[in-house]
């Protein structure tokens, strides 16, 4: 081991910080950003900072027991609006860019989010979740708040959401607030979910995205609309044949870009592309049609929460092209595309660029970066030369204490000769003459990717003496359209064989891996696959499954996405082909499971509801064959391991490490399959 350094611990999470959502000022002289941390009371804190791009001085704009996010500069650079719960609910606040006391701008009954300034700086567009009876009125007093409902009438299929909880009577609407008077003007209505996009530079239109089809329960497309701010007829730019997000205007207000995919059948298992509509001619063009790469950041990590702000495609000043993030082979970088489809990588490498802000006139950007040794920091980039300068180093003290092994990149052949890709971490303090246990980690999605980003859980297992194998089997993003769709209708088929090929390859290449002490772990789809694996083979001596799926028949009706996810991913439903749902269900093979299994699940998980874990646990206990333990996390959603309660996240890591420590000991020899 490197002298004076140690392996990472689960509790080190409480000391970690990361930066996100960089926003360059209109004059390019400063960048505002969010820094996320865990306070002494084990609660999250989000504070806003401003860093000078000239002398690099850093100023804390907000502080204290608050969660302040989404900083956005006013067009003249004098103010910053942001979202905060400091008044009890999420509202829009204003603060002088030079500092001072924040001023609350909105007092909406249902909260406010996603602020976007008008070009003249007089208004801010925002969104709010609300019921049919709500309006953008002031918050109710405690005395006037309604008592809890005694009965709830549900009339639609999309009545719950892992993001928002129960939404049986909830819609999402957009309004505009006057910065000086606080007067609010609603822009949308109806039983639909609308998302704020971007204000046109001429101030006339607001580009938004929404699903406004006749039956939103069964038609899941998301379209791009132009809403006239002064009133009038909307313009629909897409054809309700896919999902589109992150609209962005050219400087002359004549073109609009957006990200998404157009397919009448594949809404989930498909790569996102970069699109442009010429608003004068109405011609829609896919700039990346011939580029078989995922547009946007698809990298999975466990320090930053998913869903960090995506600026979409950001235009050059001349309107001849735009900058955007794309994901390929475990890396996500910053790219430039011209209107004729020429694509150039600006900055890349073995890392995860998860956000950026552009100052087109000055040809510079600030990028948010993670790599296997960096949870999340900011860099300035010269867009002409690609030269980078580091701006933040928020974990310097913690990282100076740690020994973090460098991932070994792997390329190997899977089923049917498919080329596959992954990584291996050596145990901390690795010695060539010793044997070490190995844990196979399986990502969720399945349409996401492992890559060159910081992963606390992997480093923790390495610190505890394990090799950690993590790969991207078919179904993962980052390897082309054919690859991402290859698992559909075949869950537990070739994707399973890809993972087993990875284990075999690693064990044959690295003779210090002890094949008698192999473990497997995963969450969500990775939990499904963990459940499937232990029902297929006795190769693994311990397994950890969390937020998992074991029964596709019940998942269909209990998950917030089950009925349409199953149709696309398993390619079956209970009333047409229940046999296929059962065929792909791990619980079908529960009698074969002899591997000690730790089951962990959040009690408020609407994506993979806890009944999935309950079924598996009871079935295993009833048989009395394999050691099994069930850990429930009260109040936790599907985001348990990524943005869940900090204490629960640390407990989950501790339980994982303890389970493998208990069961990955010397056992009788098992022949590799």
Residues 6+ apart with CB under 8 A from 395: 15, 16, 17, 18, 374, 375, 377
Q: Which helix (H) or strand (E) holds 555?
A: helix 552-558
Q: How far apart, in whole angstroms, are the C-alpha atoms of residue 202 and residue 256?
A: 13
Cβ neighbours for 340, distance < 8 A, ≥ 6 positions apart: none
Of residues 590, 592, 572, 568, the one with CA closest to residue 581: 572
Q: Can 524 be counted among the known catalytic residues?
A: yes
Give the C-alpha separation, 178 to 193, whole Å.
23
Among residues 128, 548, 638, 641, the one annotated as catalytic is 638
* H or E stretch covering 369: strand 364-371
Is 519 in contact with 466 (CB distance < 8 Å)? yes
Would you give the distance in Å from CA 450 to the centre of its chain?
12
Pairing verdict, β 542-546 and 597-602: parallel
H or E stretch at 656: helix 646-663
Question: 25, 357, 524, 641: which one is catalytic?
Answer: 524
Residue the block writes with tokens 């005395």? 143
For residues 18-34, one letter each, b for 16 or more C-beta atoms within 10 angstroms of the residue's C-beta and e for the rest, the string is: bbbbbbbbeebebbbbb
DSSP 3-state of 334? strand
Q: What's the N-to-C CA distance of the chain in angstroms? A: 34
Interacting residues of 575 by C-beta distance below 8 A, sequence separation 6+: none
Q: Which residues pair with 543 in a beta bridge?
A: 520, 597
Q: What per-residue string of b and e applies to 352-367 under the rule 16 or more CB within 10 Å gives b?
A: bbbbbbbbbeeebbbb
Cα distances (Å, whole numbers) of residue 578 to 308, 493, 587: 37, 18, 14
641-661 burial by CB neighbour count: b if 16+ within 10 A, else e? Answer: bbbbbbebbbebbebbbebbe
What amino acid positions are annotated as catalytic residues? 524, 638
């Amino acid at each position: 081991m490197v002298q004076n350094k140690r392996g990472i611990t689960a509790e080190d999470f409480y000391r970690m910080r990361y930066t996100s959502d960089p926003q360059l000022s209109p004059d390019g002289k400063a960048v505002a950003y969010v820094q996320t941390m865990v306070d002494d009371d084990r609660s999250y804190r989000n504070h806003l900072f401003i860093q000078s791009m000239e002398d690099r001085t850093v100023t804390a704009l907000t502080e204290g027991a608050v969660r302040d996010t989404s900083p956005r500069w006013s067009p003249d650079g004098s103010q910053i609006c942001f979202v905060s719960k400091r008044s009890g609910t999420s509202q829009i606040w204003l603060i002088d860019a030079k500092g001072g006391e924040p001023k609350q701008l909105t007092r909406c009954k249902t909260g406010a989010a996603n602020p976007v300034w008008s070009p003249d700086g007089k208004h801010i567009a925002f969104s709010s979740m609300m019921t049919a009876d709500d309006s953008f009125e002031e918050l109710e007093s405690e005395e006037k708040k309604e008592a809890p409902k005694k009965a709830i009438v549900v009339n639609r299929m999309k009545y719950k959401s892992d993001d928002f909880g129960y939404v049986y009577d909830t819609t999402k609407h957009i309004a505009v607030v006057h910065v000086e008077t606080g007067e609010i003007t609603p822009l949308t209505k109806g039983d639909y979910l609308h998302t704020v996009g971007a204000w046109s530079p001429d101030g006339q239109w607001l580009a938004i995205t929404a699903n406004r089809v006749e039956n939103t329960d069964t038609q899941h497309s998301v379209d791009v609309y132009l809403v006239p701010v002064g009133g009038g007829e909307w313009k629909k730019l897409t054809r309700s044949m896919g999902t589109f997000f992150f609209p962005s205007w050219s400087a002359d207000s004549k073109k609009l870009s957006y990200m998404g995919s157009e397919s009448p059948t594949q809404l989930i298992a498909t790569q996102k592309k970069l699109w442009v509509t010429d608003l004068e001619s109405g011609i829609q063009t896919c700039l990346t049609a011939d580029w078989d790469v995922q547009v946007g950041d698809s990298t999975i990590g466990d320090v930053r929460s998913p869903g960090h702000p995506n600026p979409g495609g950001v235009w050059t000043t001349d309107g001849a092209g735009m900058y955007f993030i794309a994901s390929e082979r475990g890396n996500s970088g910053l790219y430039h595309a011209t209107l004729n489809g020429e694509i150039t990588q600006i900055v890349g490498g073995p890392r995860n660029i998860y956000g950026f802000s552009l100052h087109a006139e000055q040809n510079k950007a600030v990028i948010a970066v993670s790599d296997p040794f960096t949870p999340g920091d900011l860099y300035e980039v010269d867009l002409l030369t690609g030269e980078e300068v580091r701006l933040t180093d928020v974990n310097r003290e913690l990282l100076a204490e740690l020994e973090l092994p460098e991932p070994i990149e792997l390329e190997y052949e899977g089923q049917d000769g498919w080329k596959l890709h992954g990584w291996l971490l050596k145990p901390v303090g690795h010695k060539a003459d010793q044997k070490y246990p190995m844990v196979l980690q399986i990502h969720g999605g399945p349409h996401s990717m492992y890559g060159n980003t910081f992963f606390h859980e992997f480093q923790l297992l390495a610190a505890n003496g394990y090799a950690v194998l993590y790969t991207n089997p078919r179904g993962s993003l980052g390897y082309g359209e054919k690859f991402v769709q290859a698992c559909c209708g075949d869950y537990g088929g070739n994707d399973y064989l890809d993972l087993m090929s990875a284990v075999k390859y690693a064990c044959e290449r690295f003779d210090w891996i002890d094949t008698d002490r192999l473990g497997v772990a995963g969450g969500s789809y990775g939990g499904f696959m963990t459940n499937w694996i232990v029902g297929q083979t006795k190769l693994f001596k311990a397994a950890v499954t969390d937020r998992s799926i074991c029964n596709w028949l019940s998942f269909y009706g209990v998950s917030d996405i089950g009925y349409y996810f199953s149709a696309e991913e398993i390619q079956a439903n209970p009333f047409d082909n229940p046999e296929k749902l059962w065929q792909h269900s791990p619980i079908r093979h529960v009698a074969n499971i002899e591997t000690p299994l730790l089951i962990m699940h959040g009690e408020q998980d609407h994506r993979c509801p806890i009944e999935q874990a309950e079924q598996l646990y009871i079935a295993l206990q009833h048989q009395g064959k394999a050691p099994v333990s069930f850990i429930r996390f009260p109040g936790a959603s599907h985001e348990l391991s990524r943005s869940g309660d900090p204490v629960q996240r640390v407990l989950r890591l501790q339980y994982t490490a303890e389970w493998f420590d208990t069961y990955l000991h010397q056992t009788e020899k098992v022949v590799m399959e």
